Copies of this chain bind each other. A is one copy, B any other.
Amino acid sequence: MTMIETHTRKSSPKRLAIVGATGAVGIEMLRVLEKRDFPVASLRLLASPRSAGKKIAFRGQEIAVEPLSENSFEGIDIALFSAGGGISKDFAPHAVKAGAIVVDNSSAFRMDPKVPLIVPEINAAEAASHTGILANPNCTTAITLMAVYPLHQAFGLKRIIASSYQAVSGTGAMAIEELRQQVEAIASGKPVVKEVYPHQIAFNVLPHVDSFLDDGYTREEMKMQNEGRRIMNLPDLAASVTCVRVPVYRAHSVAVTAEFDRPVSLEKAREVINAAPGIQLHDDPSRAVYPMPIDCSGEDDCRVGRLRIDCALPNALTFWVAGDQLLKGAALNAVQIAELL
């Protein structure tokens, strides 16, 4: 473990571990900790044995990646997990037993009633009730709720119908490489190799994110309703989503129709979004200003635009929200949760 002195205003520096440190989200967690001046007393980088020994820079120091084991969590205050649901299920209990608090980016514990599911701008207060594990929500859900929640507070949310445009980085570093290689293969007339996705993703769209349930929805699609109910404390929320992978490297976009209990107004909707933390209104169609994934990549704040009174459903607004799913959809939200502890 590498000791790193901190010079922040924040008190009680924490001994951190990152599980899945070499993955797309793990790397972003390091950048977010640096950028937000998180008070780090020490940092342990954990990954599969395959990645062990690899060195990763943090605040100017090289830290060697260690292989994840049941004994990796001795002396750790906070463990940020982002290595898939299986790893979280197997190793989070060991981390908790060793005295660490786990912030888990996988779907493993999100529906566990003992585990708070937190978007700090929405339900930060619930973090206090944790019993060792806190869950970070699904990326598309987190980004969508950043726009939906202030509108819910104003008008009372009833129903969401949404379609996503999800970047390949949501799948991980291998998917980014697959898109790059497929584009290159097509440009040079070579055969397209498919390893990460079941079909070509370059110059194509796949209405297929995560695995399918018996009712025809994917697990990813149902996260908006299941996780949205918990995060916004809306047990009756109904949400029908179509999740689609698009050939974009980074940042997800979502077309959202949200139906409310009360009549809506554009003026009020703009007002509450402008006042809400973590979300910016980018909405000036006459100047071609609207959220786009290439503009949201690397940005902490999500963006909402194309805001309009829905023409088909009473008391409804339709809009377009985009955000960096590696940041608000994953690493940033996880570090924000850690900041609450």
Task: State A216–B304 Cα separation when bound (angstroms).
Answer: 13
CA distance A307 to B242 in the complex (A): 11
The interface residues of chain B lying within 8 Å CB-to-CB of A60 are none
Q: Which residues from chain B contact A316 at a C-beta distance below 8 Å?
A: 240
A207 to chain B, nearest CB (A): 5
- As for how many copies of this chain the complex holds, the number is 2
Nearest residue in B to A247 (C-beta to C-beta)?
B247
List A residues 189-228 near B (Cβ within 8 Å): 198-200, 203-208, 212, 215-218, 222, 225
Report if A286 contacts B (CB, 8 A): yes
Main secondary structure on chain A at its contact with chain B?
mixed
Cβ of A155 under 8 Å from chain B: no
**Is residue A318 within 8 Å, beta carbon to beta carbon, of the partner chain?**
yes
Question: Is A40 engaged at the interface, CB distance under 8 Å to the other chain?
Answer: no
A111 contacts the other chain (CB 8 A)? no
Q: Does A10 make an interface contact (CB < 8 A)?
A: no
Bound complex: CA A248 to CA B206 (Å): 11
Given the known inter-chain contacts A203-B247, A285-B208, A312-B161, please indicate yes or no for A318 contacting B239, CB distance below 8 A.
Answer: no
Q: Does A249 contact B (CB under 8 A)?
A: yes
The reply to whether the CB of A299 lies closer than 8 angstroms to some CB of chain B is: no
Q: Is the CB of B187 within 8 A of A306?
A: no
Closest B residue by C-beta to A216: B308
A163 is an interface residue with CB less than 8 A from chain B: yes
In this complex, how many residues of chain A approach chain B with their Cβ under 8 Å: the count is: 57
Q: Tell me if A205 and B165 are in contact (CB < 8 A).
A: yes
Q: How far is A163 from B240 in the complex, measured between Cα atoms in Å?
A: 13
Contact between chains at A161 and B247 (CB < 8 Å): no
CB pair A312 B159 closer than 8 Å? yes
Q: Is the CB of A203 within 8 A of B249?
A: yes
Q: Is A309 an interface residue (CB 8 A)?
A: yes
A274-307 vs B, CB cutoff 8 Å, 1 = contact: the mask equals 0000000000011010111110000000000111
Report whether B187 and A309 are in contact in the complex, using a CB–CB cutoff of 8 Å: no
- Report the bound CA distance from A302 to B326 in whole Å: 35
> How many angstroms between the C-alpha atoms of A292 and B248 in the bound complex?
16
- A163/B255 in contact, CB under 8 A: yes
Residue A3 lies at the interface, judged by CB distance under 8 Å to chain B:
no
Decide if B312 touches A240 in the complex (CB within 8 Å): yes
A320 within 8 A of B: yes
Q: How far is the CA of A300 from the CA of B167 in the complex (A)?
A: 30
- Given A161-B313, A312-B159, A312-B239: A294 in contact with B216 (beta carbons within 8 A): no
Chain B residues, CB < 8 A from A206: 290, 292
Residues of chain B lying within 8 A (CB to CB) of residue A335: none
A294 in contact with B207 given A306-B242, A308-B217 (CB within 8 Å):
no
Given A163-B242, A165-B244, A212-B285: 14 more A-B contacts, CB < 8 Å: A159-B312, A165-B246, A199-B292, A203-B248, A204-B248, A204-B292, A205-B292, A207-B292, A215-B308, A216-B306, A239-B312, A240-B311, A240-B318, A244-B253
